Structure 1
Amino acid sequence: MLAAMPPSVPQPALSGDESARGRGDACPGTLRLHRADDGALARVRVPGGLLSVGQADVLRDVAQRLGDGELHLTSRGNVQLRGLRADRGSELARMLAESGLLPSERHERVRNVVASPLSGLDGLGERDIRPWPAVLDELLCASDRATALSGRFLFALDDGRGDVAALGGDVTLTARGEDQALLRIGPADDAVLIPAARAPQAALIAAEAFLEQAPDASSWRVTDLPGGVGPLLDAVQLRLRQAGFAPTRITVPLPQDAAGPALGVVPGPRDTAALSVGLPLGSVGAAQWTALADIARHHGSGELRLTPWRGVVLPGVGRTAAAQLLADLGALGLITASDSPWTGVGACIGRPGCAKALDDVRGTAQAALGPVGALPVYWSGCERRCGHPHGEWIDVVATPEGHQISRVHGGKRDAPASIPGSPGAALAAAVAAARG
């Protein structure tokens, strides 16, 4: 069982205070809030994106009672709550702890785990890895050493289809058949074969080995290590042998296409289906969130799966009812098909929520909607590009003079084209042309 929160829940602090990894790691959590122009921000970790309907209800209630009423999904399948009053932090922590969303006070920011959203639903993965996120989360919360991980360290659990393996995890597990798994460190093609049944334990061993290799508190992720990831993989392999594994080192190219689940009805086993929907700019209001939870409660398996592509998958829906339920969600403004103009469009919070933003990029993105492009586009209010996607995408960044547009691919950014002046038809046309 996961560790329960103590009866006296601490008052969350605003970012800027010291944390386990020292100075510089400003990633928000639920006990460490981030100060924004629209109020405090909390980031609720949801390992593997797996939510029960009861937990979904609690998140809605928290957003309505303590925040701006909306729920915002992140590129790691977590939930952000905005517009919070800093003096309601203890109430926030209490509500999340009682629902199981805050199982450990000391580990709440290190529970960064993404998982293949359709695992076990469409028959395309090599193994159903649904047990992995819960087991890894329990192991993390039981590890004193893991509290030293930064809020940026990412575990990716892939069922073999190669979706979340391409998201830039620090430690990636990939199912390889039913009985084996690949353990990969960072972006390297070298990996080790391990038993699938012990894969979550191996992931924790790798994370703890990283902390041994990190020279100081500035090494937030494995790519920050001065010696690269090769020596770390050597150390992980040694630690695995000491823990009773028999790891075999192999070379397997890292997947490059971080494609999320297709939108719409996903046929599943035994006359069931899953509904896969996107959230416009990753945000929903209480009514839309309630509709998602009610379908999961009354028509599905009682579970919501949040995706790193800012979408939601609802498993276990009867196939005969699936099309109508999907249409109902579309009528509420959710993205239910790939031909929606919102498909592939993302943006940071922009103005007025962020003081660093130079533009209301969400409003600009909406005004620039056009035909679906071949590439996704992400609008950023400043050069920090908070929440940007992975893989190949069109990067639109607000500048003091206007906007810059470039294509990102293979970890590199092409020379940008500048569109001066206020947002308008010229910017919309340039973005549409860049997307193809």
Structure 2
Amino acid sequence: MSISGRTHPDACPGALQLHQAADGLLARVRTPGGLLSAGQLRELAACASELGSGVIELTSRANLQVRALRDPGAFAERIAAAGLLPSPTHERVRNIVASPLVDRELIIDLDRALCARPQLAELPGRFLFAIGETGLAADVALVEERLLLAGRETALPGTVELMLEAAEAFLRLRSAEWRISELGPARVAAELGTELGAARRGSPPSTELGPHQALIPLGRLSPRQLLALAEAAEEVRLTPWRTVVLPRVPEDAGFITDPNSPWAGVTACTGRPGCAKSLADVQTDAARWVHERHTDRPVHWAGCDRLCGLPPGPVIQMVATPGGYEERQK
């Protein structure tokens, strides 16, 4: 359906508005900038074990998903007590990604200011804020002290105030659009009294695996791994590249620190049995394939043509079809 013909609101899941997946109810917990304290990690681990299936997923926006929840009310109460639900009205719009190099206080300032503006609770759940180079197609970004709109530079300084003003301008102008790229960044720029410059040509910081940054294979975590992270640091940062940054990577917890590991650059969607639309158990198939990997290029495994979780940039796509996997180039 065309954008102009949309008849339904954005249905991105949150911690209160859950998604009915094939394996049960799924909650998506926003973690602005990927910041999580040790206490929050422990509570999420406990919730996944006691209220869900024990499967936790790290998304391409550095949020966490807890699968197969049996008691949504108890889950909401527990994560709220852990500080993971500061604004029930804004919980689906706290979509903030950040480079690991960004000052944590700037992330916290943006999150608090976003939650303090009642009208911004109306933002679609797909609307994305970014701070620093992330490589993601953010609606509003602050990069090198400049404000960007859908990847286009403006003459405006990059401040928290202007980022939120841009989001408010989008809300005033939108009809059925979910993203600034759909509405047209020039319209938002004009509403802010500025013009667009060139498209940003920057690239995200490299994923430098090692003693302080580890890859989470296929973005899937266990409660035991969350507890290992909580023991290793008072605070960690999750990244959009499905890595975790912390002072010391715990050993023997299944995290990848070798940049030459065959797991590096391999991503996958949920697949079966969690997704009813998937044609294959892509997590199992990708894990089997990775030990025979024959390419250095990034590879994304997908259970259908929706290509959920597809990373930006050139990537080989292994897409499940009724007749098996089809290799495609992006």
| Separation in 2, partners of 1:77, 1:400 | 31
Deviation of 1:372 after TM superposition, in Å, equals 6.9
2:215 to 278, 281, 288: 278
Residues 107-165 of structure 1: CA deviation (Å, up to 9, x unaligned): 00000000111x1xxxxxxxx5322211111111111110110000000100xxx3x1x
- Please say if residues 72 and 81 of structure 1, whose CA atoms lie closer than 8 Å, have aligned partners that are also in contact: yes
Offset of residue 256 of structure 1 = 5.2
Residues 37 and 353, structure 1, Cα contact 8 Å, conserved in 2: yes
3-state DSSP class of the match of 1:332?
A: coil
Counterparts of 1:90 and 1:219, CA distance in 2: 31
SS at match of 2:160: helix
Q: Does 1:379 align with 2:305?
A: no
2:187 aligned residue (231, 249, 266): 231
Q: 1:30 to 1:260 in 2, by over 3 A?
A: farther
Q: Work out the CA distance in 1 between the residues paired with 2:88 and 2:7.
A: 17
CA distance in 2, matches of 1:259, 1:383: 29
Q: Out of 307, 317, 327, which is 1:405 matched to?
A: 327
What is the alpha-carbon distance in structure 2 between the residues aligned to residue 236 and residue 72 of structure 1? 37
1:109 aligned partner:
92
**Partner of 2:161 in structure 1?**
201
Residues paired across the two proteins, number: 324
Say whether the 8 Å CA contact 1:193–1:250 is kept in structure 2. Answer: no
3-state DSSP of counterpart to 1:140: helix
The structure number with the bigger radius of gyration is 1
Given that residues 151 and 199 in structure 2 are in contact (C-alpha distance below 8 angstroms), is that contact kept between their aligned partners in structure 1?
A: no
Moved over 4 A (4+): none
Distance in 2, matches of 1:340 and 1:237, equals 49
In structure 1, give the amino acid aligned to 2:213.
S
TM-score w.r.t. length of structure 1? 0.71
1:211 matched to 2:143? The reply is no
Task: Give the corresponding residue for 1:155.
Answer: 129
Q: Aligned-pair distance for 1:250?
A: 7.5
2:140 equivalent among 164, 167, 171: 171
Aligned position for 1:67: 52
Q: Which residue is 1:389 aligned to? A: 311
Q: Of residues 179, 186, 196 in structure 2, which corresponds to 1:221?
A: 179
Aligned pairs for 1:84-163 (under 5 A) are 84-85=69-70, 88-117=71-100, 119=101, 128-158=102-132, 162=133
Q: Distance in 1 between matches of 2:162 and 2:263?
A: 39
Matched, 1:82 2:67: yes
Question: Does the residue aligned with 1:76 lie in a helix, a strand or coil?
Answer: coil
In 1, Cα distance between equivalents of 2:85 and 2:231:
23
**Which residue in the other structure is 1:187 paired with?**
151
Residues 193-228 of structure 1, C-alpha deviations (whole Å, 9 max, x = no match): 41x6xx1111100000011111x2x20001111xx2
CA distance in 2, matches of 1:353, 1:392: 27
Letter of the structure 1 residue corresponding to residue 173 of structure 2: Q
CA distance in 2, matches of 1:372, 1:252: 38
Q: Which of 262, 269, 293 does residue 230 from structure 2 map onto?
A: 293
Structure 1 counterpart of 2:51, one-letter code:
L
Aligned residues of 1:288 and 1:332 also touching (Cα < 8 A): yes
Matched, 1:360 2:253: no
- Distance in 2 (CA, whole Å) between partners of 1:138 and 1:237 is 25
Partner of 1:415: none
Q: Distance in 2 between matches of 1:143 and 1:92?
A: 26
Secondary structure of the structure 2 residue equivalent to 1:32: coil
Percent pairwise identity: 44
- Letter of the 2:151 counterpart: P
Gaps (5+ residues) in structure 1?
1-20, 120-127, 176-180, 239-248, 266-274, 297-301, 409-436
The amino acid of 1:311's aligned partner reads T
CA distance, structure 1, for counterparts of residue 267 and residue 230 of structure 2? 23
Question: Counterpart of 1:41 in structure 2: which amino acid?
Answer: L
TM-score by length of 2: 0.93
User: Tell me, what secondary structure is at the counterpart of 1:106?
Assistant: helix
Q: Distance in 1 between matches of 2:223 and 2:283?
A: 19
Return the letter of the residue paired with 1:53.
Answer: A
Report the secondary structure of 2:285's partner residue: helix
Judged with a 3 Å threshold, the aligned counterparts in structure 2 of structure 1 residues 390 and 92 are, in CA distance, closer, same or farther, namely same
Aligned mates of 2:170, 2:44 — CA distance in 1 = 33
Q: Secondary structure at the match of 1:29?
A: coil
Cα-to-partner distance string for 1:268-296 (whole Å, 9 max, x where unaligned): xxxxxxx1001111011122221111010
User: How many angstroms apart in 1 are the aligned matches of 2:192 and 2:103?
Assistant: 22
Q: Which runs of 5+ in 2 are unaligned?
A: 1-5
1:99 CA displacement: 1.0
- Checking the alignment, whether the CA contact within 8 Å between 2:26 and 2:69 is kept in structure 1 is yes
2:180 alignment partner AA = V
- Counterpart of 2:10 (choices 18, 22, 25) is 25
Corresponding residue for 2:3? none
2:206 aligned with 1:312: no
Which stretch shifts more, 371-380 or 41-50? 371-380
Whether contact under 8 Å (1:260, 1:309) holds in the other structure is: no
Q: Distance in 1 between matches of 2:206 and 2:79?
A: 28
